[in-house]
Structure 1
Amino acid sequence: MFAIPLSNYRYLINKLYRYILANDSLSYSKPYHLLSVFNVLDSLKNQSLNQANIGDTVLISFVDTQEKLQLTLVNADKVTDDEKNISVLSPLGSALLGRSKGECFSVNILNSSIDCKLLKIVNK
């Protein structure tokens, strides 16, 4: 039998978390989540341009690791295999909607909370 290095486990766990954060398939089983996303999208029609919306490219950081990530918020049907596009129906995408530069927020997945900060809305 062989041992798998701990770094490989961390890598796999990080990939799993990223997949769950960015994947919108979980949201379809939660009608309340979908309704809240649609309400935020509706309210953004009349809001300031300083809030994250569909089509915006944002720079975020994960508070615990200080890792930075640049993403573009897109409709669910526009998500590609490119890790730079994220659905607004995904846990991370929906948490970003309506946020302003400098705002901190939490994303709840798998019975845990991931703290993030919106560093910049790149294209505004």
Structure 2
Amino acid sequence: MSNIPISTQGYKKLEEELARLKNERPAIIQAIREAREEGDLRENAGYDAARERQGMAEARIKYIESRLALYQVIDLDRLSGDKVIFGATVEVEDIDSGGRKTFTILGPDEAAPTKGSISLLSPVGQALLGREAGDEVTVDIPRGRVTYEILSVSFEGSSGLQP
């Protein structure tokens, strides 16, 4: 994917995370230095934990830095329309169970299903893209095949994002 959509808010959060991780580097290096001074590194849990923390931080830094140039930053407050696109909030009803769900369609690096947003690259996100209220979509999800009726498509802008 050459352009990865991301909201202005999502981009800002990643920039803040990158700055925080870079600022943590000296503390991680100091923790490694202190653990190394404790002696035998083969059975030094503090050293192992500090090295693991360093590896995870460096991997995340590299990941974020590699993605920054690929992002297409989109201001959610400027979006509108009748069709499901990036930034749309979609209310659906499961045809079989009658259960209702509301999703905000976001990019893969900011989607948080537990907070009501899904990636436009997810199976449900892909099925919903380009559709409008009244359409039915059938999608294979981990628990099986589900058919949703799209009840509404709205654009709540940045106010619709949960922290």
In 2, the alpha carbon distance for the partners of 1:68 and 1:111 equals 16
Cα offset for 1:83? 3.3
Secondary structure of residue in 2 paired with 1:93: helix
List runs of 5+ in structure 2 lacking aligned partners: 1-79, 157-163
Greater RCO between the two (CA within 8 Å, min separation 6)?
Answer: 1
- Mark the runs of 5 or more structure 1 residues left unpaired by the alignment: 1-47
Shift of 1:50: 1.5
What TM-score, normalized by structure 1, do the two folds share? 0.55
5 Å-filtered alignment, 1:1-124, equals 49-80=81-112, 82-109=114-141, 112-123=144-155
CA distance in 2, matches of 1:78, 1:102: 27
SS at match of 1:76: coil
Higher Cα radius of gyration: 2
String of CA shifts for 1:16-44, please: whole Å, max 9, x gaps. xxxxxxxxxxxxxxxxxxxxxxxxxxxxx
Q: Distance in 2 between matches of 1:114 and 1:99?
A: 16
Distance 1:109 1:70 in 2: 16
For 1:63-122, what per-residue CA distance to the aligned partner results, in whole angstroms no more than 9, with x for missing partners? 000101111000101113633010011111111100111101100235942111110012
Distance in 2 separating the partners of 1:110 and 1:79: 18
**Secondary structure in 1 aligned to 2:149?**
strand
Give the aligned CA root-mean-square deviation in angstroms: 2.2
Identity of aligned residues (%): 29
Larger relative helix fraction:
2
